[in-house]
Amino acid sequence: MSVKMTPPVGKNEYIDVIFEDLTHDGAGVAKVNGYPIFVAQALPEEHATIKIIKVKKNFAFGRLIELHKKSPYRQEAPCTVYKQCGGCQLQHLSYEGQLKAKEKQVRDVMRRIGGLEDVLIHPVLGMEKPWEYRNKAQVPIGDREGGLVAGFYRQGTHEIINMEKCLIQIEANDVLIQAVKAICEKYGVQAYREEQHKGTLRHVMARYGQVTGEIMLVFVTRTEDLPQQQQIIDEIVAQFPNVKSIVQNVNTKRTNVIFGDVTKILYGSEYIYDCIGDIKFAISARSFYQVNPIQTKVLYDKALEYAALSGQEEVIDAYCGIGTISLFLAQKAKKVYGVEIVPEAIEDAKRNAALNGMTNVEFAVGEAETVIPNWYKQGIRADVMVVDPPRKGCDDSLLATIIDMKPKRVVYVSCNPATLARDLRILEDGGFKTREIQPVDMFPQTMHCEAVAVLESV
Ligand code: SAH
């Protein structure tokens, strides 16, 4: 027999609540008889009057009307466009509060989803300076009277708001983008107009090599031509000698996807270089490369420590991207096999291995859940398995192969604590024990939470 539950709140009702938690996108959660209400900008421990704005069967949304008791961690968001942008979700929470919230998020899902009651979870490794960390800026370009705007889409819309400075962006990228905007304006480049599918310049991307200081600039255009191209390039290079690569990507489609299929080099090299620790990487316009270089080093060092390599091990690095973790591991392993689904990333991975003179790595294109079971059938056994899947976590058939293969250790790098917890449960049921989990704050001011876990075969 099903019981029809009536939500305990009604639309437009005003109620007083106490917030207990944050959602994964940074909204406060309050409960009325166990029924959750999500309220943007509210923080755990806060007492407030809210107005119910939307009621669903199992939850509701409310708006903050008046705060009666503030969280001790509440702060004024330093960014002037914080609420319009939506790129950051936690600027109204002090950094100490953010780290505590992320630790709690990991603890909660390990208990609730993973059923892991007593696993060792360390406090989050945060940044000394949790600002100006992003090495990549990707900004939409729009029109305004007599010029261009470069910034971000107002949350939930396609309206482009101008932004001169993003507080989580490395300053060099902001300065370059402002200059590029002015130079393009001077030479009469038109912004892409989405509704009419007219105009030229859709996006500008800047990527900065933290260690080398090299910058790549990408113009994403609707048209094959970039008018006055040579003058534009000459001015940029004259003003910014560390711009080592200028690339044009042509995207002729009506789409929200940023990049199109054709990429042309307008100036300099196809790549810029950057280093993480002792390893050098060539990064092309379309490559995935971690956006927070300082914390990437922290994360990879931890993954390497957890792998506990002696030099004798064969290691599989699943979801290897351009081989960043694979090359880190190869410094200490007998052999590393990397697997990744994007063919261009594997080309980059091979080039990066050669660039660092590493011969004990081998890369394959394909789904981790297909390639690794095949390897297993062919007799390849990993002593240590490293996985770094996208948000949805590992595929069941990959987890089943790991359980059959029984590596001594599994190092699981995750960008989503919920799927990490789910997959740890499966591995525990298959004969592994989770030894410890180290969350690393790769994305300060946002709700994103990265963590690395190590499991041993028992
Ligand atoms: N380890 C890399 C990349 C991690 S991001 C780094 O630290 O830089 C996750 C990667 O998994 C992406 O490169 C994505 O293309 C890849 N991927 C997604 N689904 C996959 C699958 N089913 N099999 C293999 N790789 C996949």
Which residues form the catalytic set?
415
Tokens, residue 107? 């603890």
Q: Is 290 annotated as a binding residue?
A: yes
pTM of the model: 0.93
**Å from CA of 320 to ligand 1 middle:** 6
As a whole-number percent, the residues of the chain with pLDDT over 70 amount to: 99
Domains and CATH numbers, the chain: 14-69 (2.40.50.140), 100-128+292-457 (3.40.50.150), 136-276 (2.40.50.1070)
Find the mean pLDDT for residues 314-326: 96
Q: Is 21 annotated as a binding residue?
A: no
> Which residue's CA is the closest to the ligand 1 atom numbered 22?
367
130-164 pLDDT, tens digit each: 999 999 999 999 988 778 999 999 888 888 988 98
94-115 pLDDT, tens digit each: 999 999 999 999 999 999 999 9
Q: For ligand 1, what atom is nearest to the CA of residue 395?
A: 22
State which of 290, 296, 326, 340 you would mutate to test the pocket of ligand 1, scoring each by most atoms of that ligand within 8 A of its C-beta: 340
**pLDDT of 192 higher than 50:** yes
Q: Using pLDDT thresholds of 50, 70 and 90, give the confidence band for residue 310.
A: very high
State which of 288, 297, 419 you would mutate to test the pocket of ligand 1, scoring each by most atoms of that ligand within 8 A of its C-beta: 288
Q: What pLDDT is stored for residue 155 in this prediction?
A: 86
Helix (H), strand (E), coil (C) string for the chain:
CCCCCCCCCCCCCEEEEEEEEECCCCCEEEEECCEEEEECCCCCCCEEEEEEEEECCCCEEEEEEEEEECCCCECCCCCCCHHHHCCCCCCCECHHHHHHHHHHHHHHHHHHCCCCCCCEECCCECCCCCCCCECEEEEEEEEECCEEEEEEECCCCCCEEECCCCCCECHHHHHHHHHHHHHHHHCCCCECECCCCECCEEEEEEEECCCCCCEEEEEEECCCCCCCHHHHHHHHHHHCCCEEEEEEEECCCCCCCCCCCEEEEEEECCEEEEEECCEEEEEECCCCCCCCHHHHHHHHHHHHHHHCCCCCCEEEEECCCCCHHHHHHHCCCCEEEEEECCHHHHHHHHHHHHHCCCCCEEEEECCHHHHHHHHHHCCCCCCEEEECCCCCCCCHHHHHHHHHHCCCEEEEEECCHHHHHHHHHHHHHCCEEEEEEEEECCCCCCCCCEEEEEEEEC
**Å from CA of 345 to ligand 1 middle:** 9
**Å from CA of 288 to ligand 1 middle:** 9
**Å from CA of 342 to ligand 1 middle:** 8
Q: What pLDDT is stored for residue 1 in this prediction?
A: 47
**Å from CA of 317 to ligand 1 middle:** 10
430-455 pLDDT, tens digit each: 999 999 999 999 999 999 999 999 99
Mean pLDDT computed over every residue of the chain: 95
Q: What pLDDT is stored for residue 99 in this prediction?
A: 98
Q: What pLDDT is stored for residue 132 in this prediction?
A: 97
**Å from CA of 391 to ligand 1 middle:** 10
State which of 279, 341, 440 you would mutate to test the pocket of ligand 1, scoring each by most atoms of that ligand within 8 A of its C-beta: 341
Ligand 1 pocket at CB < 6 A: 288, 290, 319-321, 324-325, 339-342, 345, 367-369, 388, 390
**pLDDT of 196 higher than 50:** yes
Q: Is 319 annotated as a binding residue?
A: yes
Q: Is 340 annotated as a binding residue?
A: yes
**pLDDT of 248 higher than 50:** yes
Q: For ligand 1, what atom is nearest to the CA of residue 367?
A: 23
Q: For ligand 1, what atom is nearest to the CA of residue 415?
A: 5
327-386 pLDDT, tens digit each: 999 999 999 999 999 998 999 999 999 999 999 999 999 999 999 999 999 999 999 999
As a whole-number percent, the residues of the chain with pLDDT over 90 amount to: 91
Q: For residue 436, how many other CB atoms are within 10 A of its CB?
A: 14
Q: Using pLDDT thresholds of 50, 70 and 90, give the confidence band for residue 249.
A: very high
Q: What pLDDT is stored for residue 80 in this prediction?
A: 93
Q: Using pLDDT thresholds of 50, 70 and 90, give the confidence band for residue 288.
A: confident
How far is the C-alpha of 445 from the C-alpha of 423, rounded, in Å?
A: 27
28-87 pLDDT, tens digit each: 999 999 999 999 999 999 999 999 999 999 999 999 999 999 999 999 999 999 989 989
Q: What pLDDT is stored for residue 3 in this prediction?
A: 55
> Which residue's CA is the closest to the ligand 1 atom numbered 1?
320
**Å from CA of 369 to ligand 1 middle:** 12
Q: For ligand 1, what atom is nearest to the CA of residue 289?
A: 8
